[in-house]
Structure 1
Amino acid sequence: MALRLTLRWKLSAAIAVVSALVVVALSLVVHNAARVSMINSARDVQDERVQSALRIYETNGRLVFYAALNDRALPTELKDYAAKGQRATFVQQTRSGLVVWAETPAGAGKVLSLKTGFTDRYSVLIDLDRTLVLGSVAVVLGGTAIGVLVGGRMSRRLRKAATAARKVADGDTQVRVREAIGGRGRDETDELARAVDAMADALQLRLEAERRVTADIAHELRTPVTGLVTAAELLPPGRPSELVRDRVHALRTLVEDVLEVARLDGAAEHADLQEVALGEFVRRRVPVLAPDAAVTVAEDAVVQTDPRRLERILGNLLANAARHGAAPIDVLVDGPFVRVRDHGPGFPPDLLREGPSRFRTGSTDRSGAGHGLGLTIATGQARVLGARLTFRNAPAADGGGAVAQLLLPR
């Protein structure tokens, strides 16, 4: 399973890395500067001491400050300076630490030298390094904490924006991303929220205009179609009259379905919720809607739903199974689930991928009675009920066929 890094942790990690690089660089600079300063100071002190030791030696012949004459351990670099008659200092690296030497010619070919360990000043450098390490850790932790806070705030705002955008995509036209994320900051998140809200408003206006045109056209067709139905009933008996009446009734059904789709798209429909025993409801309704369908109640459940809308969904699912599937048609009630299955070729791939679409039947035969609105209406009615309607195809090993499953709220 891939590790999912959120914006909070990415920002925190970036701040921690940058902080670590900065404090390491500064610590090295401070350490080197302090070390050079301490060594130079030790050299100056050692130079003054060797001069004082030389004056005392020349006055009374006594060696002070642990001075030595012609010390065999004197570094070669200092011997070279002494041979030239020059006074010099030298820092030597040993296993025990740093040693500061100083030498000066004492006349008669003699060299007076001093040697002092750098232990006291070196301990100060160690304390400085310890302080730098503790300070660096504190800076990294503090920067990381700030990154967590800042990144967490941005991450929360973006999550709220994503949640609100999904609600808008699901058809909730009252949600606004900028209100969902809250805050008064004018940052990139706020600009993103404004852009998404503007896009949602524009899409809503366009969809509302399309819905209104569709509803107006269907409403205007309603009166002449009603007249056609009445006129068709007055035709004399015969095969031509039956064909006319059949097509007129199909046209009236299409107009009513288009009006229903337009109402469902308007998001103004509200369910009249009641407590319904789902198993008993399905047992009574399915024989009327599809006499050949078999009903099985594995587990009954009491659900909150609108019986009229639930019957509409069942009717459309059963009609789709009978029109595009094949017998046998099975209806299963399992708790709050209602499953309708046929044993035909199954749902087309584009329906499974994109969901039901109006006037798309999945068949190239346009002479049938279907108009591709049945599953669209069923999906819209399920949304009004607060239910979830899903579509899939049964495995070929299990007999194949289309499976529509409705999950109702208890």
Structure 2
Amino acid sequence: MRHLALRTGVRWKISIAIAAVGALVAITLSLVVHNAARVSMLDNARDTQLGRLDWAQRLYDPNKKTQALGAKINDPLLPKPLRSKANAHRRSTFVDEHHTSAPDVWAASPLPNGDVLSVHNVYRDSAGVLSDLDRALVIGSVSVVIGGCALGVLIGGQLSRRLRKAAAAAGKVAQGQTDVRVRDAIGGVVRDETDELARAVDALTDTLQERVAAERRVTADIAHELRTPVTGLLTAAELLPPGRPTELVRNRAQALRTLVEDVLEVARLDSASERAEMQEIALGEFVSRRVAVLGPEVKVRVVHESWVNTDPRRLERILGNLLGNAAKHGSAPVEVTVEGRVVRVRDHGPGFPEDLLREGPSRFRTGSSDRAGQGHGLGLTIAAGQAKVLGARLTFRNAAPEGAAVSGGSGGAIAVLWLPEHAPTNTGSYPVLPRARP
């Protein structure tokens, strides 16, 4: 089973991290400040009550139940801890805290005759001060969290922009723009890990390009060196006496010559030195004529005619390779549809392999499960390369969905050539063609 993956940007991850740390620090400091202020205020209240108790003892009158400063003798509401300490001949204070009201602060002292002198006060000011302090701490904490989020968005946004520029530059390099450098793309004055990543990607790109260029040179040189002896071999085969062995030699020599020519064409396409010779043609009429020569049994349907500016020779090469692949690895009937600037070639065979649909055509791909398992994989590679020279896009898909059972002609492979909209005519991309004379 596939795990659910949440995709988030670096900007928001940094913002959330800074906000979380800011909130944690703010809450911790708020609790510390709140408790410190509470303890300090209660200590001051205890000291105040002890001061009142001292004055009350100085003004003590044994004949009165209620003494000066509100002191009382043997107060029945005196808390038990205070009474116990007074019985032990100790003066002490006691704070009775309530969750819903202000705290009660007591102070008591034993008298020589065995009575207990006590003072009591409700510190309402402390509750108000703590409430104001808590409100200020909450406002400060929220401000810290918001400020942390803003700072995280700013820092993360800068880092995210640099990474996105690096990714865009790397994508251009992957598309074949070898002159693009990631380090130049990200720019900036600040140097950080993204610059190290950019330098590493640029170094990797240079190394891969050197290796690919070396492989292409070796392939082109080998194919070029083989061209002359293969031509001589084919000429010598023509001089052999008629017979089955001679026919086999000629067929293999011709196949080898075709392979060498294909390899040379792939090498030229890889070198990006090919240039198209553009002409304006009626696409539907052109495809109908060429398909009639390349595959007379192929059905051609022109849904919508359009004039295009393209290279007829390269377009014919693409059509020939697509039709050849459909005839060799697919099943009849093979259908060609022209709709505007789009050309579709479909057969009713087993369809393209998953590797080709996922990665595109690959040269010399073989395998029993491959649609082109008995070939060299150069036909579709050349078609894709020629489409790139034309500025077109060649895509591959299957008629049946992945994993669906193929029956009753529902399957088959579909190659779609999307020609670019270069040099439209006066009537637009899809000109109105004159009626044919009866």
Amino acid at match of 1:409: P
Q: Measured at CA, do residues 369 and 291 of structure 1 come closer, stay the same or move farther in structure 2, by a change above 3 Å?
A: farther
The Cα offsets for residues 352-401 of structure 1, whole Å up to 9 and x where unpaired, read as: 3443222336569xxx9954311110111122233222223333235122
Aligned partners of 1:11 and 1:147 also within 8 Å: yes
CA–CA separation in structure 1 for the residues paired with 2:92 and 2:20 = 45
Aligned residues: 407
Per the TM alignment, residue 228 of structure 1 is displaced from its structure 2 partner at its CA by 5.0
3-state DSSP class of the match of 1:65?
A: helix
For residue 402 of structure 1, what is the aligned residue in structure 2?
413
Match for residue 41 of structure 1?
Answer: 44
Q: Which residue of 2 aligns with 1:72?
A: 76
Q: Does 1:84 align with 2:95?
A: no
d(CA) in 1 for partners of 2:347, 2:27 = 70
Compared with structure 1, are the counterparts of its residues 27 and 271 closer, same or farther at alpha carbon in structure 2 (3 Å cutoff)?
farther
Shift of 1:36: 0.4
Once the two structures are aligned, what percentage of the paired residues are identical? Answer: 67
The secondary structure found in structure 2 opposite 1:360 is: coil
Partners in 2 of 1:3 and 1:221 — Cα distance? 54
Matched, 1:341 2:346: yes
Structure 1 window deviating more from structure 2 (183-192 vs 234-243): it is 234-243
Q: Could you give the per-residue CA deviations for residues 240-286 of structure 1, whole angstroms, max 9, x where no partner exists?
A: 76665554443333222111100111233333445544323322322
Select 1:122's aligned residue among 110, 127, 132: 127
**1:292: Cα distance to partner?**
1.7
User: Do the aligned residues in 1 keep the contact of 2:102 with 2:126 (CA within 8 Å)?
Assistant: no
Q: Is the 8 A contact 1:328 1:342 kept in 2?
A: yes
Q: Which has the higher helix share?
A: 1
| Cα shift readout 1:188-222 (whole Å, capped 9, x = no counterpart) | 22222211211111111011011111112222333
The SS at the match of 1:57 is coil
Q: CA deviation at 1:289?
A: 2.2
Q: Secondary structure at the match of 1:116?
A: strand
Residues 395-404 or 324-333, more deviating? 395-404
| Distance apart, 1:329 and its partner CA | 1.2
Deviation of residue 115 (structure 1)?
A: 1.2
Contact conserved, 1:250 with 1:369, CA < 8 A, in 2? no
Q: Distance in 2 between matches of 1:114 and 1:302?
A: 106
Pairing partner for 1:14 from 13, 17, 20? 17
Deviates more, 1:10-19 or 1:62-71: 62-71
> Contact conserved, 1:348 with 1:362, CA < 8 A, in 2?
no
> Is there any run of 5+ residues in structure 1 with no aligned partner, and where?
none
Q: Distance in 2 between matches of 1:275 and 1:20?
A: 67
CA–CA distance in structure 1, aligned partners of residues 83 and 245 of structure 2: 131
Matched residues in 2 for 1:277 and 1:9: separation? 53
Residue 58 of structure 1, CA deviation: 5.1
Q: Residues of 2 paired with 1:270 and 1:185: CA distance?
A: 42
3-state DSSP of counterpart to 1:251: helix
- SS state at 2:60 partner: helix
- Could you say which residue in structure 1 is the equivalent of 2:168? 163
Which deviates the most, 223-232 or 6-15? 223-232
Aligned positions of 1:95-244 closer than 5 A: 95-228=100-233
TM-score by length of 1: 0.88
Q: Which secondary structure state, in structure 2, belongs to the residue aligned with residue 115 of structure 1?
A: strand
Pairing of 1:21-40 with structure 2 (within 5 A): 21-40=24-43
Question: 2:10, 2:296 → 1: CA distance?
Answer: 57
Q: Does residue 16 of structure 2 align to residue 5 of structure 1?
A: no
Secondary structure of residue in 2 paired with 1:40:
helix
Range moving further from structure 2, 131-140 or 300-309: 300-309
Q: Secondary structure in 2 aligned to 1:97?
A: coil
SS across alignment from 2:110: strand
Q: 46-55 vs 225-234, which deviates more? A: 225-234
**Residue 253 in 1 paired to residue 258 in 2?**
yes
Whether the 8 Å contact between 1:46 and 1:101 is mirrored in structure 2 is yes
